[in-house]
Structure 1
Amino acid sequence: MPSLKNSPRPLRKKPPAKKPWTDAPSRPSATSVKKPDPRKKLKKAPVEEVLRRLRREYPDAHCELDHQSAFQLLVATVLSAQCTDVMVNRVTPVLFKYAPTPEALAELPLEKIENMIRSIGLYKNKAKNIRSLARDLVDKHHGEVPSNLPDLVELAGVGRKTANVVLGNAFGIASGIVVDTHIGRLSRRFGWTRSEDAVQIEKELQKLIPEERWVQFSHELIFLGRRICKARNPDCPSCFLKDICPKIGVAS
């Protein structure tokens, strides 16, 4: 039997050198996760929540231009450019008394139309436009207001905004989103756009707002802009969106 006395001892492996002690990053526990600071300014208002609250707050939001037909709505919307609906509603009763149809308006002397709408801004240009569009309706559309965007925007004084108003309210067609001064202003304050261009704003909003909400959303946002989120001195403290609105461009 071989002697174990002179057997070579197995070499011991050197322990690995100790790394200098450092603070190891620990996983945050459920209780240590930081909650969003409500005082931290938001970058964008959450679209779904804004839509939910708008519908709740303004269930009866509607077009505030007085009209009894698609033609009267078309004329009233053309007259509302750079003018309030209140001012337009003061002049249209007399205008529509004499010209309730395209045929009647097409025959009115220009001077008479000007006199009836004199109290609103740009009345001379608007008088020419509404008589011109009335004649086009008679000559090209059998006296009927077109129910499609391409034909509408060919009429004098009619742009995308006016066409969207008419299609949405007279025909129930969601051709786009109405972008007036209120919707442009609020969309920028919500952080949904930086643009000042109505067409660009509409494109950006169409990506955010479901198509089935386009028409009513326009009414709701206009209601908010006229009643609370005004251009000057918006009433943020009483706004139902104050906790989710980033208030971009609003002086604190």
Structure 2
Amino acid sequence: MFYSSRLSIRTVQYCSRIRMSSPYFSSRSKTSSSSADPRSSSPTAGGGGGGGIRRLKSRMVKEVKEGVKKEEEKNMVKEEKEEYGVSNNSSQGSLLLHSSTEMKEEQRDGPTSLKSQRTQRRGHIKVEYEEEGPGIKKNKWEPPDWRRQLSFIREMRSGRDAPVDYMGADKCYDSQASPEVVRYQVLVSLMLSSQTKDQVTSAAMTRLRKHGLSIESILRTDDDRLGKLIYPVGFWKTKVKYIKKATEMIQQEFGGDIPNTVEGLVRLPGVGPKMAHLAMAIAWNQVSGIGVDTHVHRISNRLGWTRSKTKNPEETRKALEDWLPRDLWQEINLLLVGFGQQVCLPVGPLCSTCLNQHSCPSAHLTSPKKRPKPGSSHLPENPKIKPENSSRQIKEEPVNVPLGSSRSQRRGFKDDMEAPVQRKELKEELIEEEEGNSKRKTRGRAVKEVKEEEKVEPVSSCPRLRRRAHNR
């Protein structure tokens, strides 16, 4: 009793929760069940029971101390879990601290270590989910049915008979020259092709090659002579200055060879992103980007290959590079440029002959109002000609008249095909018109003469002037 009174209230409460499974309590329960009065036990049994009670109490004290320690450790673990949940996005040092404490707990008891492992695993998964690395794929925008449209363009360009196919920048250099000279000639041809047709650029490059198209020869040539050689390319005076300045930079800063990067090419005067990417593809055989000129810019917007309407070729280039596969970057320029020169023209595109007329959102919106020129391969088989508005009503027969002929030619063509009676009627009508015109002229002259004769000077109030007029 004295020993138990010194126990704290906390230990007593804990003891009440402990399951008493010792042999003493089991024997005590047996004796209590056998005899109703507990005081009827023998003194020998009471002496033996006293020793067992001391051992039991000492054991209970140890168990209480261990239980208190476990409760304190559990409370610490709960506090650490709460701190870990609040600071889930903290630094790596805090994560290492939690892991070290959990490893210590794992050595002490099993169940807490399992909980710590689960919480650590959940936190690690959450960190990986929140991070946005390059491995996460996003759904990129693509124009609908673009592969089918591209296959149709390839089919229409299968002949490779557009001007860019035999007069482009990849056909204007001297194949027998050194690699440095070939690359320089490719760059010059690209500079001349800006705002210029391929036919004019090819003729200018032919004259330059005859004169000598290398860095040394261009530096020795004066501006007047160079201007005469490249005339009549667009903005030829400005291009003369750009060619001379770019040649000097290549000689001084790049060691006599054109730059092998887009950044270096754009530094040259008169060289833009389109020329730089094309020069990298043709001269250095490297795909660095899509060369977008006016044809690629126009056709991409007509086909709906950009998410929104672009205002300039540079915006179109960025829009195409966002979704177009990289293996098509070099091919797309040559395809669309030739397609724009033959079918998808800037003014009056030939939508009726295009294979994409049913899928193109701009089809038949800008079709030509006038008929194609004579000799064009896109003429309709049976053209319908409307009769001209004229004062003469002449019976017309269905005759295949050339569309591009003038009015006088069409009239002569009809005269040859009509009957002689109709030709006489036509001549008589023409003669009557001429006679009517002559009569009108004579009548007009007679009226003028009569008016002049009828003119009378106003009567003056002065008598002297009246006498003079009377004498006249």
Q: Under TM normalisation by the shorter chain, which class is it?
A: 0.7 to 0.9
Structure 2 length-normalised TM: 0.42
Alignment of 1:158-177 (within 5 A): 158-177=271-290
**CA distance 1:137–1:99, change in 2 (3 Å):** farther
Counterpart in the other structure of 2:183: 70
Shift of 1:45: 5.5
Counterpart in the other structure of 1:55: 154
- Give the share of equivalent positions with the same residue, in percent: 26
CA contact (8 A) 1:103 1:143 kept: no
Q: Helix, strand or coil: the match of 1:155?
A: coil
**CA distance 1:173–1:109, change in 2 (3 Å):** same
Counterpart in the other structure of 2:292: 179
Distance in 1 between the 2:244 and 2:237 partners?
11
Matched, 1:120 2:233: yes
Counterpart in the other structure of 1:206: 321
CA contact (8 A) 1:228 1:236 kept: yes
Alignment of 1:130-169 (within 5 A): 130-169=243-282
Counterpart in the other structure of 2:94: none
CA contact (8 A) 1:164 1:176 kept: yes
Q: Helix, strand or coil: the match of 2:188?
A: helix
Shift of 1:154: 0.5
Deviations 1:226-248 (A, max 9, x none): 01000111011111222221116
Residue identity in the other structure for 1:182: H
Say which structure is richer in helix: 2
Match of 2:303 among 184, 190, 199: 190
CA contact (8 A) 1:188 1:195 kept: yes
Counterpart in the other structure of 1:5: none
**CA distance 1:109–1:239, change in 2 (3 Å):** same
Matched, 1:240 2:344: no
Residue identity in the other structure for 2:168: E
CA contact (8 A) 1:103 1:135 kept: no
**CA distance 1:164–1:58, change in 2 (3 Å):** same
Q: Helix, strand or coil: the match of 2:355?
A: coil
Distance in 1 between the 2:146 and 2:287 partners?
19
Deviations 1:26-63 (A, max 9, x none): xxxxxxxxxxxxxxxxxx55222222233344355857
CA contact (8 A) 1:102 1:143 kept: yes
Higher RCO, Cα 8 Å, sep 6+: 1
Q: Helix, strand or coil: the match of 1:196?
A: coil
Structure 1 length-normalised TM: 0.77
CA contact (8 A) 1:189 1:250 kept: no
**CA distance 1:250–1:99, change in 2 (3 Å):** farther
Shift of 1:217: 0.8
CA contact (8 A) 2:277 2:291 kept: yes
Distance in 2 between the 1:215 and 1:136 partners?
28
CA contact (8 A) 2:351 2:363 kept: no
CA contact (8 A) 1:189 1:249 kept: no
Unaligned runs of 5+ in 2: 1-142, 175-181, 368-472
Shift of 1:129: 0.6
Residue identity in the other structure for 1:131: K
Distance in 2 between the 1:178 and 1:45 partners?
23
Unaligned runs of 5+ in 1: 1-43
Distance in 2 between the 1:205 and 1:102 partners?
35
Match of 1:46 among 138, 145, 151: 145
**CA distance 1:137–1:79, change in 2 (3 Å):** same
Match of 1:219 among 334, 343, 346: 334
Distance in 2 between the 1:99 and 1:141 partners?
21
Matched, 1:109 2:222: yes
Q: Helix, strand or coil: the match of 2:257?
A: coil
Distance in 2 between the 1:163 and 1:221 partners?
18
Residue identity in the other structure for 1:64: G
Counterpart in the other structure of 2:130: none
CA contact (8 A) 2:351 2:364 kept: no
CA contact (8 A) 2:304 2:361 kept: yes
Over aligned residue pairs, what C-alpha RMSD do you find? Answer: 1.9
CA contact (8 A) 1:78 1:126 kept: yes
Counterpart in the other structure of 1:250: 365
Match of 2:193 among 80, 83, 86: 80
